[in-house]
Chains A and B, each alone.
Chain A
């Protein structure tokens, strides 16, 4: 069991040792990345993640739902493998074929950044600092983390995969069972099995902030009286007015 944990960390070291190959077109500094988190192990968990890279600072936020309540959820940015998520129905070496963390390493690689709460440590070697993780069924997490230049570059390129861990396979309401974790034999496998996964990809736009004020009187200011006149006219003309306007616009 120890060996798979060691293998994961060895893979991290190997990755860091690699020269920075010509990266595919990714996000530039300050661009946003997003991930849609979907369940692994039929956990019922889901969520979203958002990140932006500024130099060697990665600002990241997570919103999750459907996790086991009252139990810590280890969460990381994984980098490596194919930088993807395994399918929800992928089976592994865990409880009744459950996917353990190392069973998904071909897809998402080893831990690169540990997403602990302040002031927890964020290096890969702190991947199981269980006291520092969120422990609710649904939570909002946000933190800015200093990482190496390589990791910053990889995250900006869209190579990061968010993995949230902790699955109550037997529905007992807590992490238990005879299967030991592939990451730490002191822990039940339920505590570290992956529950949700999402690939951090560069957003295809500068994402607007806040809701959209497309209501009626929510448009205030100088233009409003003009809108009243036009609105009445448009109503009177009905579809004809719109068609006419459309012709003008497309010529």
Chain B
């Protein structure tokens, strides 16, 4: 697929799991970790604004919470149910929509996060959609795994 021009994402839809959300930009904290949606935007999808915009060459990175307070489902509660071949549509500020097709769904312990697979260089336009999953460690107050959906641009 030919890459699209840079244009920030505004909304994302994953019809197979009923996800529809606006998208806002987030950066890294002082330790170089990806910031996560908070406050009023807690239940919305975020785009890592240091990554390519969806449709540009390289892996565009989207993330969202799996649950909120008291295990209430958040925007990516069903992300782990995504399957290869599912479509992900991303609306962009220039009015275009970049459509991606899921190539792989991975679950990985956070302390063995596949950094190169997820954020490393790609030839064409790709998408990474990340949330949490796996066992919830009550003592540490966190999920032990990340669920990562890998997708490639099919139309833009």
Q: Chain A residues in contact with chain B, CB under 8 A?
A: 33-36, 48-50, 63, 201-220, 223-224, 226-228, 230-232, 234-235, 239, 242-243, 245-246, 248-250
A204–B132 CB distance below 8 A: no
B119–A208 CB distance below 8 A: yes
Contacts of B72 in A (CB 8 A): 216, 231-232, 235
Check: B66 CB closer than 8 A to any chain A CB.
yes
Contacts of B76 in A (CB 8 A): 214
A214–B132 CB distance below 8 A: yes
Contacts of A232 in B (CB 8 A): 69, 72
Q: If the complex has contacts A36-B120, A212-B63, are A249 and B141 also in contact, measured as CB distance less than 8 A?
A: no
Contacts of A239 in B (CB 8 A): 20
Which single member of B32, B69, B146 contacts A211 (CB below 8 Å)? B146
Can you name 18 A-B pairs with beta carbons within 8 Å? A34-B121, A36-B116, A48-B120, A201-B121, A204-B121, A208-B48, A211-B113, A212-B146, A214-B76, A215-B132, A215-B142, A227-B38, A227-B68, A228-B68, A230-B40, A231-B72, A249-B22, A250-B11
Contacts of B28 in A (CB 8 A): 206, 208
Check: B57 CB closer than 8 A to any chain A CB.
yes
Q: If the complex has contacts A216-B136, A227-B68, A235-B72, are A209 and B31 also in contact, measured as CB distance less than 8 A?
A: yes
Give the CA-CA distance A220 to B142 in the complex, in Å.
10
Which of A33, A50, A63, A249 lies at the interface centre, i.e. has the most chain B CB atoms within 10 A of its CB?
A249
Contacts of B42 in A (CB 8 A): 219, 223, 226-227, 230-231
Tell me if A's interface is mostly helix, strand, loop or mixed.
mixed
Contacts of A34 in B (CB 8 A): 116, 119-121
B141–A220 CB distance below 8 A: yes
Give the CA-CA distance A204 to B108 in the complex, in Å.
23
Give the CA-CA distance A34 to B109 in the complex, in Å.
21
Which single member of B32, B43, B71, B143 contacts A234 (CB below 8 Å)? B43
B69–A210 CB distance below 8 A: no
Find the A residue at minimum CB distance from B108.
A211
A210–B132 CB distance below 8 A: no
B68–A205 CB distance below 8 A: no
Contacts of B143 in A (CB 8 A): 215-216, 218
A207–B120 CB distance below 8 A: yes
Check: B16 CB closer than 8 A to any chain A CB.
no
A211–B110 CB distance below 8 A: yes
Q: How far is the CB of B4 from chain A (nearest CB, A)?
A: 14
Q: If the complex has contacts A49-B116, A214-B63, A216-B65, are A208 and B33 also in contact, measured as CB distance less than 8 A?
A: yes
Check: B52 CB closer than 8 A to any chain A CB.
yes
Check: B10 CB closer than 8 A to any chain A CB.
yes
A214–B64 CB distance below 8 A: yes
Contacts of B32 in A (CB 8 A): 206, 208-210
Which single member of B20, B69, B116 contacts A231 (CB below 8 Å)? B69
Find the A residue at minimum CB distance from B77.
A216
A250–B10 CB distance below 8 A: yes
B132–A212 CB distance below 8 A: yes
B48–A205 CB distance below 8 A: yes
B10–A212 CB distance below 8 A: no
Give the CA-CA distance A206 to B115 in the complex, in Å.
11
Q: How far is the CB of A64 from chain B (nearest CB, A)?
A: 12
Contacts of B11 in A (CB 8 A): 246, 249-250
Which single member of B73, B108, B115, B131 contacts A214 (CB below 8 Å)? B131
